[in-house]
Chains A and B, each alone.
Chain A
Amino acid sequence: MADQNKPESADNFFNEILSPCELFAARSRSHKIPARGQKDFYPDDSEEQKQRLQQRLDEHWSLISEERVERLGNLVKAVWSPSERIVELQTPAGKFWQTMGFSAEGKQFLLPEEALYLMECGNLQVFHQDLPLSIQDGYEAFLSSDSVSLQQYQVFGHLKRLGYVVHRFDPSSEPSPYARQLNLPRSRDRGGRQLKRKRSPSPAPTSSKTAAASQAEEMEEEDKLPESHLVASAAPQTSSSGAAGEVQARTWWPAEVPERQAGQRSAPGSQRWDFSSICFPDLGSAGRLAPLDASLLPGGVTPGVCDVAPWMRRINLRKVKMSPKEEERERRQRRRDVNKDKEVQRCRNWAEYHKLLERRQAKRQGRPAHLWSGEVQPLHDPTRPISTAELLEKISVIKSTDLLEGAARLKGSEEWRICFNVYQPDSVADFKKSNPGKPYARMCVCSFDGPVPDLRVIKQLSFQSGDVPVVYAAVDHGDISFYTFKDFQLPRDIYP
C-alpha cells in the first residue's frame, strides 16, 4: 500500500497512511506547538500579508495533518465489543488505569468515552474484528445519542485534556436524598472517618430539618436514639401535669404573661394535646389524684396512681415571718392570685383559661377586638414581643425560597441529567477509583441550540447533586462554556 502512495490521484484518495519510512522518521518528531503571532487588523491585499497568511496556513496544516505514531510497546491493546458498548483491555493497562476503567469478572474494561480519549492521546489501540480502529471509526462507533453523545464527549475530552478526572455520574451510586438527610454513612465507604470530615461542612441543620430527620428516623425504626429523644422532648410537659401534686397550688398558676409564652412555645405540642379535654387536677382533695390519661403519655409509660399525702407531709408549713412591707406585697399578690379570680375559677379546662387570658390581654392592651375576631387577622399582634428579624420574616408576604425547597418532590426529566462527576486535577496523585470521594463538580451537558435549564431542572439537578455544585457545560460547536447557577440570599441588615 505504502508504495502506491504517490502515483495517481484516484489512488490518492485514502492517502493518509504513512509508509514504514515515514513511521520510522516520526519517532524523532517535535512536540512543540508553533506560537501564534499578532493578527493583522484588516486585509489590505498586500504581498506581505498574503505571505504571512500562507505561512500560518502551512503551519496549521502541518499540525493538523500529523498522524499519531506510537511505538507498539507503548500501546495498550484493546477490543471493542459493540453489543455491550464497551472496550476490553487485552494487554496490561497503563498509568491511566488509576483514574479510568473498571474491572469485572477478572477482566479490565474501559467505557467508550475513556477509550476514545486514550486513542486520541495515543495510548490505546482498539481492535474490532482483528483490525485496528481509526479515530474516525472510534467516533462513529463509540458515540451515539443514546449512550455518550458527541457533545458529551466534547465536554469529557475538554475536561480530561485539562487534567480533571471525569467519571460518569451514576444516580444509583449516590446516597438517596433520604439517606443524605439522615447523614447516613455510605455502606460502601470504608473510610468512615474521611466521610465524616467531608460531610461536616454541610450547612448546619435547622430546627425544622432535624425535626423532619427525627421523624424520618422514627419511621425507619432502626435507631434507638430518636425514640429516647422524643421522650425527652415530651417529658417536661407530662411532668407539669403528672408530678403536679408535689407543688403548691401557686405554681400551677404562674404570672400571666410567662404562662402565655409557655403556651406559645409548646405550640407544636398542642397538636397532640387537646386542652379542652384536659381537666385541672383537683389538688384540694389532697390524698389521691386520679391517674393520668394514658393517651397523653408517650407509649410504654403506664400511669400509676399518684398518692399526694406523703408529699403534703413534707411541705414546710411553718409560718413565714414577714415584714409589714412584705406582708402588704403578699396581700396585694394574694388579691391578684389567679386562683381567687372568679373568672378563672369558672374555667373548666385549659382551653377556656387560654381564651380568657387572650380576652383579657386584648382588653388591657387596647387591641381593637374587631381586627382579631374576623377570619382575616393582622399579620402580627403588636403586643407580642418579637425580634426584628422574626418580625420581618413574619410580615414578608412573599417568602424568599431556597433553591432546594420542594426539590425532593420533583421528578427527574428525560431531557436533563447529570452526565459526569468531575474531580480536580491535583487529586490525581492519590485518587482511588473505588473511593473517589466528593467530586469537585458535576457536569450537565447542554447545547447552545437547546433550551436553557428552567428553575425546575436546576432545582431537581442540584437536589440530586447534594452539596456538590452542578455545572452546566454549554456546547457551541467547538466552544464549551461552563455556567453555574448558585443559590443567592439577598443580604438583609437588621437593627434589633
Chain B
Amino acid sequence: MEAELQPQEERSPAPVVGLSLCDSAPLLWRLQDLKAVRSEGLVGALLGSLPRTPRQNVRLGRPLLLLPEEERLLGERGGAAALPAQNQEAAAGELQQRYTEEQQRSFEEQSVLALEDRESALVRAMTSSSGSDPASDEALQHRLLDLEQNFSFPRSALAVQLSTARAGLSHCPEARAFLEADWPIRAQRCPRREARFQVFRDLRGRGFFLTSAGKFGGDFLVYPGDPLRFHAHFIAICLALDESVCLLDVLCAARLGSNVKKTVLLCSPAPDGPVRYTSLQWSGMV
C-alpha cells in the first residue's frame, strides 16, 4: 500500500533543531530540541545519566542520540542545524570575569534567600508553639534581629549548576541568532542504509514511532504511538526486494517475534515505488 498520509512532512515549518556531533554521532542537548523532535515522532535514544538519580540505567537523561535515519530525515527536511561550537579563546579573559561576577551575584542572592528561608522557618516555629501574645512577639522580633546580624551563608553552601547543554549567552555570543538549517546529509549511500531509510520514512509517514531493534534482531521496533504509552507491535527487518533470504534466518526472526508477542515485518522498498511489507506469522497448525 502506498503511504498517502504524511502529516508530519506537510506541516508548517517545524523549528530547526540544533545537533552537535560527538565522535561523529549526532546528539541533541537542548530540551527544546528534544521536545521538537519528539513532537515530530522521532524518539532517538537517551545516553546520559539522569541528573536526579545518576547511578541507574532504567531512566537515562540527555543527550539524545539520533538514529542515522532520524538524522537524515531531519536534514532532508531542512530541520537540523549544527549547534555553535564552543566560543574560542577570543574573549576568554572577559568571559572569565563575567563568570566570576555572575557567581558572586548568585552567591549574594542565595545568601539573601537562605536568610529569608531561616527567618520564615523561625517565624513558623515560634508562632506555632505559642499563640500570638505581645511577649512572644517581641521575643520573635528579637530572635529575628539576632539571626539577621549573625547569619552567614558559607561559600560551600552555594548551589551551582552543572549545565547539561553548553549554555550561557556569554559562552557563544555570536549564537544569539536562530540556527539556520545547515545540517549536511552525512548518510553513506550504501544499499542497506538506503533501504533502512526508505522503510523508516515510510513507516514514520504512516504515523508509527520507531526505535532501533538490535535487541530483537531487527532493524526497527515499530510502535503504534508514543513508546511512552504503547508497546511495539512489529519488528521491522529491511531487505532489498531482490535479496534472497536464508530460510533459517526467516525462521529465527519469526520465532523470536512470536516469543515477544510481536509481528515480524519484512520490509522491502521497491525502486521508485511503495515499500512492500510482508508479515510473518505462525500458522497455528499442529
Name A's B-contacting residues (CB within 8 A): 1-2, 4, 10-11, 13-18, 20-21, 23-24, 26-27, 29-33, 36, 39-43, 49, 52-53, 56-57, 60-61, 63-75, 117, 119-122, 125, 129-132, 134-137, 139-140, 143-145, 149-151, 154, 157-158, 160-163, 448, 474, 476-479, 481
**Nearest chain-A residue to B215 (Cβ)?**
A479
Give Cα A125 to B160, complex, Å. Answer: 10
Is there an interface contact between A13 and B178, defined as CB atoms closer than 8 Å? yes
Interface centre among A36, A60, A120, by most chain B C-beta atoms within 10 angstroms, is A120
Among the listed B29, B31, B35, B92, which residue makes an inter-chain contact with A129, where contact means beta carbons less than 8 Å apart?
Answer: B92
* Cα distance A157–B23 in the bound complex, in angstroms: 16
Q: A31: which of B24, B53, B65, B168 is its contact (CB, 8 Å)?
A: B53
Complex Cα spacing A364 to B92, Å:
100
B126 to chain A minimum Cβ distance, whole angstroms, is: 22
| Chain B residue nearest to A150 in the complex (CB) | B23
Q: Is B259's beta carbon under 8 Å from chain A?
A: no
Q: List 5 A-B contacts (CB under 8 A).
A: A4-B169, A14-B171, A63-B61, A72-B160, A125-B160
List of A residues within 8 angstroms of B283 by Cβ: none
Bound Cα distance A125, B103 (Å): 14
Q: Which residues of A contact B77 (CB under 8 A)?
A: none
**Are the C-beta atoms of A39 and B231 separated by less than 8 Å?**
yes
Q: Tell me, yes or no, whether B140 is within 8 Å of chain A by CB.
A: no
Q: How far is the CA of A158 from the CA of B230 in the complex (A)?
A: 25
Closest to A36 in B: B228
B45 partner residues in chain A, CB cutoff 8 A: 477-479
A17: contacting residue among B38, B161, B172, B229, CB under 8 A: B161
- Which chain B residue has the least Cβ–Cβ distance from A124? B162
CA distance A14 to B53 in the complex (A): 24
- Answer yes or no: B49 CB below 8 A from chain A CBs: yes
Using known A-B contacts A120-B54, A161-B55, determine if residue A14 contacts B167 with beta carbons closer than 8 Å.
yes
Would A139 and B162 count as touching, CB distance under 8 A? no
| B104-112, B144-152, B235-243: which lies at the interface | B104-112
Q: Are B105 and A20 in contact, CB atoms less than 8 angstroms apart?
A: yes
Closest to B116 in A: A24
Residue numbers in B under 8 Å from A130 (CB-CB): 92, 96, 99
- Distance between Cα atoms of A23 and B233 in the complex (Å): 43
CB of B95 within 8 Å of the partner chain: yes
Residues of B within 8 A of A73 (CB): 154-157
Q: How far is the CA of A1 from the CA of B211 in the complex (A)?
A: 38
A478 contacts across to B, CB distance below 8 A: 44-47, 60, 65, 212
The listed residue (A11, A21, A29, A131) touching B171 by CB distance below 8 A is A131
Quote the shortest CB–CB distance from A52 to chain B (angstroms): 6
Instruction: Tell me the complex Cα distance, A98–B46, Å.
Output: 29
Contacts A11-B176, A72-B160, A135-B164 given; indicate if A122 touches B106 (C-beta within 8 A).
no
Q: Which of B30, B48, B161, B167 has the most CB of A within 10 A?
A: B161
* Complex Cα gap A120–B45 (Å): 17
Chain B residues with CB under 8 Å of A64's CB are: 31, 34, 46, 61-62
Q: Which residues of A contact B86 (CB under 8 A)?
A: 137, 140
Bound-complex Cα distance A2 to B211 (A):
37
Q: Shortest Cβ distance from B122 into chain A, in angstroms?
A: 17
The 3 closest A-B pairs by CB, nearest first: A478-B45, A73-B156, A476-B214
Shortest CB distance B207–A (Å): 9
The CA-CA distance from A119 to B160 in the complex, in Å, is 13
With both chains docked as a complex, state the minimum distance between the C-beta of B72 and any C-beta of chain A, in angstroms. Answer: 15
B20 within 8 A of A: yes
A24 touches B114 (CB 8 A): yes
In contact, A143 and B165 (Cβ under 8 angstroms): no
B52 & A70 in contact (Cβ 8 Å cutoff): no
Instruction: For B160, list chain A residues within 8 Å (CB).
Output: 23, 69-72, 75, 125, 132
Residue in B110, B162, B167 whose beta carbon sits within 8 Å of that of A122 in the complex: B162
Nearest opposing residue in chain B for A145, CB measure: B23
A161–chain B nearest beta-carbon distance, Å: 5
* Neighbouring B residues of A4 by C-beta, 8 Å: 169
Residues on A with beta carbons closer than 8 Å to the beta carbon of B123:
none
Task: Give the one of B27, B55, B102 with max A CB within 10 A.
Answer: B55
Q: Is the CB of A23 within 8 A of B106?
A: yes
Give min CB distance, A414 to chain B, whole Å. 17
Task: Check B49–A120 contact: CB distance below 8 A.
Answer: yes
What is the bound-complex CA distance between A49 and B166, given in angstroms? 36
Closest to B97 in A: A130
Within 8 A of A (CB), among B67-102: 67, 86, 89, 92, 95-96, 99, 102
Q: Which residues of A contact B89 (CB under 8 A)?
A: 129
Report the separation of the CA atoms of residues A154 and B57 in the bound assembly, to the nearest whole angstrom: 11
Contact yes or no, B35 A68, CB < 8 A: no
**B161 contacts which of A11, A27, A32, A68 (Cβ < 8 Å)?**
A68
Partner of B50, one of A33, A136, A162: A33
Give the interface centre of A10, A125, A162, A476 by most chain B CB atoms within 10 Å. A476
Which chain A residues lie closer than 8 Å to B67 at the CB level? 477
Whether A71 contacts B159 in the complex (CB less than 8 A), given A53-B229, A131-B95, A476-B215, comes out as yes
| Interface core residue of B45, B52, B65, B225 (most chain A CB under 10 Å) | B52
Contact of B62 among A26, A135, A143, A157 (CB under 8 A): A135
Please name all residues of chain B whose beta carbon is closer than 8 Å to the beta carbon of A474 when the two chains form the complex. Answer: 214
Interface status of B184 (Cβ within 8 A of chain A): no
From A31, A117, A125, A140, residue with most partner B Cβ within 10 Å: A140
- B274 beta carbon closer than 8 Å to chain A: no
Q: Are A10 and B177 in contact (CB under 8 A)?
A: yes
Closest approach, in angstroms, between the C-beta of B262 and any C-beta of chain A?
Answer: 12
Q: Which of B20, B49, B176, B230 has the most CB of A within 10 A?
A: B49
Verify A139–B175 contact, CB threshold 8 A: no
- A366 nearest CB across to chain B (Å): 51
Asked, given contacts A14-B175, A24-B114, A136-B20, whether A41 binds B163 with beta carbons under 8 Å apart, the answer is no
Is B156 within 8 A of A71, CB to CB? yes
Q: In the complex, which residues of chain B have a beta carbon less than 8 angstroms from the beta carbon of A31? A: 52-53
Contact present for A56 and B229 (CB under 8 Å): yes
